[in-house]
Each structure stands twice: as structure tokens, then as C-alpha cells.
Chain A
């Protein structure tokens, strides 16, 4: 299964768009890409999932280029409450999946 690499941390300001990229160079054809958000003292929670191209929901967008060697989670107009750790997950849809080390996003006023 593909190893995932994410930046350790990122800073942003309220109202800005934030893009967090996850690298998964050896991703297989059928692997899924999923992003989770984790606040302090809570378990991670699902944000968005994609396979290829672009997926958008009410909280985020996920961009996956044609070669699928990376994926970018995009958070529009972040607020202080978006301060959290964001994890990407690559899974084969059968019985193997692996989380990245997580990106700590700090949103400043």
C-alpha cells in the first residue's frame, strides 16, 4: 500500500483558503483517498473521500490529479474552529489502509 506524506504543520488566517497536500506516490489503481479531521480530545471524523478528479461537499473539496500521486484537501474561508489535525488515508478497498502522520493546521485571527 502507498506510503502517505503530509506537511507536519501549516498556519493560516481567518477567511483564507487552505490547501493541504498529501503525497502518495505509489498509489494503486483502485485505492481510495480519504481525509479526516481531528480536534483535541476527540477521535478523527470523516471529511471527504475521492478516487479521481474533484469531489466537493459542504465543508471541503478534494482535488486529485490524473496521475493520483497526490491529493489536495481544500478548505474554503477557514475560521478559528477549523484549527485541527488533518489526516489523509489511502485504502485499497479490501483490507489494507494507511493514515498519514497528519497536518496540524492553525488558523489565526
Chain B
């Protein structure tokens, strides 16, 4: 069974802290994605990666960075967390496509609260 796991279900951090959100997939997928999900706004793409060490900005990359050192792992980094980054963060992966043509497999999400 395909699986995308995220390191934490809930996370509470303070303003200004550096935050790491980790995502691991066991399907040998080429592509991985980070979204944030907010009420009334749906899912918005932050960054995606189509290969190890390769990344592309999504719709809302400001305030975030990413790292993909291994194929199965994709990290989202908040260099200096702010309260407006309080949100649900979802990771996803696809076998080959990055333009919506492939089924995306999602993790369960990390609810981040920044105080």
C-alpha cells in the first residue's frame, strides 16, 4: 500500500523559530509537493520537487524553503516562523507528473501553530 508520512501531526512553535516539516514517501515517486491548506482557500502549492536537489516555486513560496537530498524525503523549512504561517501543511507525491495529470498521494498533514 502506498504511503506518504509526515513527521508530526501537530506542532507548536514560537515566532522567529526555525521550523522543519519532514515528509517521506515509500513509492519511489519522482515528484513531491508541499501545500498549505487554509479555510476558504483550499490547497495552495508552496514548492515542488521533480528530482533530488531540484525544486520549483509554487504559488506561495514566500517565507518558505525546501530541501530534497534523497528521493524519498522532502523537507519544508520555515526560516523564521511567523503567526501568519499557522496552517495545515500537506505533503504529496506523484510518480511522474507535476501538472495535475498524475494522481497525487497525500500525507495526513501537519497542523502547525505559531505563537
Given contacts A99-B42, A99-B44, A101-B40, contact A45 B100 (CB under 8 A): no
Determine if B11 is an interface residue (Cβ-Cβ < 8 Å).
no
Selected interface stretch from B12-20, B62-70, B74-82, B101-109: B101-109
Residues in B whose Cβ lies below 8 Å from that of A89: 100
Residues of A within 8 A of B4 (CB): 43
Q: How large is the interface on B (under 10, 10 to 19, 20 to 34, 35 or more residues)?
A: 20 to 34
Among A8, A36, A97, the residue within 8 A (CB) of B99 is A97
The listed residue (B59, B90, B91, B101) touching A91 by CB distance below 8 A is B101
Tell me if A14 counts as interface (CB < 8 A to partner B).
no
Say yes or no: B99 contacts A94, CB within 8 Å: yes
- Number of chain A residues whose Cβ lies closer than 8 Å to a Cβ of chain B: 27
Q: Which one of A43, A45, A87, A94 has the highest number of Cβ atoms from chain B below 10 Å of its Cβ?
A: A43
- Choose among B41, B48, B101, B106 the residue that contacts A43 (Cβ–Cβ < 8 A): B106
Looking at B4, B42, B90, B100, which has the most chain A CB atoms within 10 Å of its CB? Answer: B100
**Is the beta-carbon distance between B106 and A91 smaller than 8 angstroms?**
no
Q: Identify the closest chain B residue to A89 (Cβ).
A: B100
Known contacts A91-B101, A94-B98: A43-B45 contact under CB 8 Å: no
Contact (A92, B99) CB under 8 Å given A43-B90, A43-B107, A43-B109? yes
Identify the closest chain A residue to B98 (Cβ).
A95
Q: Do A97 and B45 form a contact, CB below 8 Å, given A32-B101, A41-B108, A43-B108?
A: yes
A100 touches B100 (CB 8 A): no
Quick check: is A42 within 8 A (CB to CB) of the other chain?
yes
What does the 1/0 interface line of A21-60 toward B look like (CB < 8 Å)? 0000000000110101000011111100100000000000
Question: Can you report 9 residue pairs joining A to B where beta carbons are below 8 Å apart?
Answer: A43-B92, A43-B106, A43-B108, A89-B100, A92-B100, A97-B45, A99-B42, A99-B44, A101-B42
Which residues of A line the B interface, CB within 8 A?
8, 31-32, 34, 36, 41-46, 49, 87, 89-102
Apart from A32-B101, A94-B99, A101-B42, 10 more pairs, CB < 8 Å: A32-B99, A36-B104, A43-B108, A49-B103, A87-B42, A91-B99, A91-B101, A93-B97, A95-B50, A95-B56
